[in-house]
Structure 1
Amino acid sequence: MTGETIKAHHEKNKIVNEFPNCSIRIVEGDITLPNLGVDNQVIEEIIPQIEVLWHLAAIYDLAVPRDIAWKVNVHGTTMVNEFVRSLPNLKRYMYFSTAYVAGTREGLLRESELIRPFAFKNYYEETKYEAELRVEDLKSEIPLTIIRPGIVRGHSETGETIKFDGPYFFLNLVERLKCLPIIPYIGQSTSTINVVPVDYILNASTFLASEQEAEGKTLHLTDPNPHPVQEVYRTMVKLVTNAYPKGRLPFAWAKLSLQIPFIRRKLGVEQETLDYLTWNATFDTTEAQKILQKGGITCPDFIQTMPKMIDFYLAHKEDTSYQIQIK
């Protein structure tokens, strides 16, 4: 079995132990192939049984090369769309896009908009935009909901996560610089950063999957009250080092430094991460909040729940299975 299959079986066992009446079947496949690379006999067996299909498979990497991102995110989604069309009993197709399909567009970004930006910050954004276009085209024929999450972090109550990417890159930075007399701010950002805990994404998306009002909608699962980049960074530094940042490293210097592979590997930070520190955009969540309030589902505050995130990070920072390979 592949590493991913072994992990899947491990997760299955955890769920079944917690919920003994739950039935889970793992089917290995490849979304870039027809019928998702699943054996024909298995396909014939499962097609009539599928009522809700969740499409979360993607390359989640800001530094991914374009050809790989296109094959998985765009071509893979095309293959999933074709498979979805073959499901006679489908009640909902739940497609996970990203709030960052907006690329370099700034200002208020509405849920109802899917506008090609002048540019994208990386190939992940570009290919997720192209993939969402292809799912958007299905709205007239398939009952679907497009989910656009913000930057996802660990569980708000336990801090548990499966990998240290996104905001964890800054924890890597702080952790590896804490031996210095001071840790500086990076530039002077006036932007906010939209980070949401995984439990919010899970609770919201599972509720939306059976909520009729969500059918045919594109919804931002982003924090309606995001914090400024400076406040988030300041809080991280304080919680990790028990001291506040002092001084400032010019943003241009930081960006130049992370162009050097040795430095970004040493600091554990992907250079593309910096592009989000100066990006001035706000995600409209009007439609999502209107539907989610029926279920009493709200987004936990990032700053208030950050201590649990830090605790989990510090407890597992030496475990390489959590760390992203920086190239």
Structure 2
Amino acid sequence: MQTYLLTGYPGFLASRLLEELMERHEGDHYALLVHPSQFEKAKKLTVNKRNVELFPGDITKKGLNLTFEQAEWLRENTAYVFHLAAVYDLAVPKQIAEAVNVTGTDNVNRFVQSLTNLKRYIYFSTAYVSGQRTGLIKEDELDAGQTFKNHYESTKFAAERLVAELTGVTYTIIRPGVVVGHSLTGETIKFDGPYFIMRFLDRIRYMPIPYLGKSEALFNVVPADYIINATLCLSESEEAVNRAFHLTDPSPYESRELYRMICEELLGKKPSWTISPAFVEFALSFSAIRRLFKVEKEALEYFRCTSQYDASQAKEVLEKRGVRCPDFKDYVANLVQYYKNHRMDSEKLINVK
């Protein structure tokens, strides 16, 4: 029996990752580092799960705020660490982002370095550590002197650099694109990212629907099940040792086309005119407009991102094992149907200020 340590539970990807790990490695042990604010929720979700143990902890604290006994047990038994805990909010204040994403990762790194039987450290970064770079972004690139669109990007960049600088640790860095729900069920935990499109369209469903500009920028969406399957594949592959991988769509759609597909699926009609992105951005500068349409201003940047994420190394490793990213057009209906069924669920709505 070996132990898998996960941070970020009961977050969406961490929860799905745990389920898949337990299905594939039924006899192993699972240690979940859970922030005290999420402990009761995590306890309810795992009450009937065998071989799962919760560890109340805090990645922003030295030693992860574990007791001496807990830390010693984990040091001796942990074989795999999946570090998913982070602040993913695009509008997150700098101080909070640095505390969780940078200091938190540094603390996890230090703990990982103390593990005596570690086989692999899997760190969840983001494709958007590329910041405001344009053109082709390769998987073996990180620091190109780029600037960033928000504190989320800049702190994830700083955190990934800390992981890449580790010595004596076998790691794999995962860089997802914009993660949406399960490609078959549509299930997701939060309506953010592309779901802002659905929330916006819901508000104007009885009006002539506009395109948001004429940009030909690509919008890189990937379903959660692909991220989980690819991550588990890479975590056990010798080809993935001490490397970073873009878990992005190898054939992404233009933002305008993706918007059209969502609009047709949700409202049964196509956009018929085009509104200036500058006007939309100006309008979303006002909190009343953001709250009305339930859309964060920061999300607009990702619909006009002109970066192209080369995922050839990930594709090469994953296709040998039968793992492929599905085409957005083949699962957009499932995403939209799930949204329709749960759009009034307050727990899934992002609090837009």
Range into which the TM-score falls when normalised by the shorter chain: over 0.9
Q: Does 1:149 align with 2:176?
A: yes
Deviation at 1:287, TM superposition (A): 1.0
Q: Deviations over 1:12-43 (max 9, x none)?
A: 247x3xxxxx4111111100111111122211
Determine which structure has greater relative contact order: mean sequence separation of CA pairs < 8 Å that are 6+ residues apart, divided by chain length: 1
RMSD: 1.3
- Structure-2 residue corresponding to 1:213: 239
Please point out which of 120, 124, 133 is paired with 1:96: 124
Unpaired stretches in structure 2, ≥5 consecutive residues: 1-34
Unpaired stretches in structure 1, ≥5 consecutive residues: 17-21
- Structure-1 residue corresponding to 2:193: 166
Alignment of 1:219-258 (within 5 A): 219-258=245-284
Distance in 1 (CA, whole Å) between partners of 2:37 and 2:109 is 26
Aligned partner letter, 1:71: A
- Structure-2 residue corresponding to 1:19: none
Residues 186, 250 of structure 1: 8 Å contact kept: yes
Aligned partner letter, 2:164: E
- Structure-2 residue corresponding to 1:295: 321
Scaled by the length of structure 1, what TM-score is found? 0.95
- Structure-2 residue corresponding to 1:268: 294
Deviation at 1:11, TM superposition (A): 3.2
Residues 103, 117 of structure 1: 8 Å contact kept: no
Structure 1 segments of 4+ aligned residues over 6 angstroms from their partners: none
Aligned partner letter, 2:232: T
Residues 181, 188 of structure 2: 8 Å contact kept: yes
Residues 139, 313 of structure 2: 8 Å contact kept: yes
Q: Does 1:67 align with 2:101?
A: no
Q: Deviations over 1:274-314 (max 9, x none)?
A: 11122111111111111111210000111210000000001
Aligned partner letter, 1:108: L
Q: Deviations over 1:44-71 (max 9, x none)?
A: 1221110000110100010001111011
Distance in 2 (CA, whole Å) between partners of 1:117 and 1:80 is 26
Sequence identity (%): 42
Residues 78, 115 of structure 2: 8 Å contact kept: yes
Distance in 2 (CA, whole Å) between partners of 1:158 and 1:118 is 37
Q: Does 1:310 align with 2:336?
A: yes
- Structure-1 residue corresponding to 2:141: 113
Q: Does 1:7 align with 2:41?
A: yes
SS at the partner of 1:188?
coil
Which deviates more from structure 2 when the two are superposed, residues 195-204 or residues 36-45? 36-45
Scaled by the length of structure 2, what TM-score is found? 0.88
Deviation at 1:9, TM superposition (A): 2.6
Aligned partner letter, 1:33: K
SS at the partner of 2:320?
helix
Deviation at 1:2, TM superposition (A): 5.3
- Structure-1 residue corresponding to 2:75: 47
* CA separation of 1:219 and 1:60: change in aligned 2, threshold 3 A: same
SS at the partner of 1:51?
strand
Count of aligned residue pairs for this structure pair: 319
Distance in 2 (CA, whole Å) between partners of 1:298 and 1:274 is 28
- Structure-2 residue corresponding to 1:31: 59
Higher strand residue share: 2
Aligned partner letter, 1:185: Y
Distance in 1 (CA, whole Å) between partners of 2:117 and 2:340 is 46
Distance in 1 (CA, whole Å) between partners of 2:111 and 2:267 is 50
Deviation at 1:6, TM superposition (A): 2.9
